[in-house]
Amino acid sequence: MSDQLSSTFAALADPTRRAILARLAEGEATVNELAEPFEMSLPAISKHLKVLERAGLISRGRNAQWRPCQLEAAPLAEAADWVETYRRFWDTSFDRLDAHLRSLQDQNIQRED
Amino acid sequence: MSDQLSSTFAALADPTRRAILARLAEGEATVNELAEPFEMSLPAISKHLKVLERAGLISRGRNAQWRPCQLEAAPLAEAADWVETYRRFWDTSFDRLDAHLRSLQDQNIQRED
DNA sequence: TGGTTAATTAACTAGTTGGTGAACTATAGG
DNA sequence: CCTATAGTTCACCAACTAGTTAATTAACCA
């Protein structure tokens, strides 16, 4: 379970961690600021942040005794890519996208000629 | 961890389960067919399938002594929606969209004056 | 120097996960 | 009825997860 996709999905599987990411989407925050909405001890939040950091979903700076956290969305791009490959199984409009992609591919093939 | 999004992400966090979904994207398969590529006991696969089923990612039919599995992508749509809300943090072309939205908002503010 | 605030680390616990082998259920077919 | 095939359930185990409280580290401030 050490590949990037696995640790990303594992990190996202916890609602507290998703809420932390949602908060960070509004901008940097300190650990105490992130902990504030939760009825949970600070060490528990610290652990969640470590999970997010090891999954590459956040980075942490340093400002005096504060350790501001910042969203790092790159792993989400990979997760989105993975999920997108299944879009045709739920999105009926995929037919149009699929046709569009195939026509693009056709154009590339023509250029290669 | 019992909400839909959590159980979906938790199910996707295991590479064996993601591989099973990839196989099912090619069409229905029995448990033994799904187990074949893995160096893992049948009960282990059975457990993975149960996780996928409880997350709503697969459904199971009945055909004599076979229990054919089928991909059910609806939960993936929800997961995709969630991830998409973060697209602007990795997709640079979102900057243009974001700027566009902000300029629209500015126009609205001006109208309110 | 000593006190306060911010955050992490340590030690522990309860519950979950991912795997095993052995036993069991269910259906098909001679 | 017996046997083979398909799959699940059971009992167990090791590793991991998510939380706790208490102790520790780090930086600021008076």
What per-residue confidence (pLDDT) applies to A110? 46
Residue A85 within any structural domain of the chain: no
Torsion of CA A86, A90, A92, A94, to 10 degrees: -20
d(CA B11, CA A17): 16
How many domains are there within chain A?
A: 1
Residue A92 within any structural domain of the chain: no
What per-residue confidence (pLDDT) applies to A14? 98
Asked if B83 has any chain A CB less than 8 Å from its own CB, the reply is yes
Residues 38-57 of A with CB within 7 A of strand D: 39-41, 43-44, 47-48, 51
d(CA B81, CA B89): 15
B1, B9, B70, B78: which to substitute to probe chain A, counting the most A Cβ within 10 Å?
B9
DSSP conformation letters of chain A: --SHHHHHHHHHT-HHHHHHHHHHTT--B-HHHHHTTSSS-HHHHHHHHHHHHHTTSEEE--BTTB--EEE--HHHHHHHHHHHTTGGGT-TTHHHHHHHHHHHHHHHHHHH-
What per-residue confidence (pLDDT) applies to A90? 87
- CB-nearest partner of B73 from A6, A25, A90: A90
Residue A80 within any structural domain of the chain: no
| Token code pair at residue B105 | 């908002």
What per-residue confidence (pLDDT) applies to A112? 40
Residues spanned by the domain of B99: 4-112
CATH number of the domain at B78, please. 1.10.10.10
Give A37's Cβ-side CA count (13 Å radius): 13
Asked if A59 has any chain B CB less than 8 Å from its own CB, the reply is no
d(CA B111, CA B35): 63
What per-residue confidence (pLDDT) applies to B69? 96
CB-based burial of residue B107 (10 Å sphere; 0-12 exposed, 13-18 middle, 19+ buried)? exposed
What per-residue confidence (pLDDT) applies to B90? 87
Does pLDDT of B111 surpass 80? no
d(CA B113, CA B109): 7
Q: Which of these, A4, A14, A19, lies nearest to A76 by C-alpha position?
A: A4
Residue-wise pLDDT tens digits, B60-107: 999 999 999 999 999 999 999 999 999 999 887 665 555 555 555 555
What per-residue confidence (pLDDT) applies to A20? 98
- CB-nearest partner of A86 from B7, B13, B76: B76
What per-residue confidence (pLDDT) applies to B97? 58
Torsion-angle region of B35 (φ positive above 0: left; ψ -120 to 50: alpha; else: beta): alpha
- Note whether A58 and A71 are within 8 A (CB): yes
Residue-wise pLDDT tens digits, B15-44: 999 999 999 999 999 999 999 999 999 999
Which residues from A are below 8 Å from B21, CB to CB?
86
Ordered per-residue pLDDT tens for chain A, 113 residues:
569 999 999 999 999 999 999 999 999 999 999 999 999 999 999 999 999 999 999 999 998 899 999 999 999 999 999 999 999 998 776 655 555 555 555 555 444 43
What per-residue confidence (pLDDT) applies to A91? 79
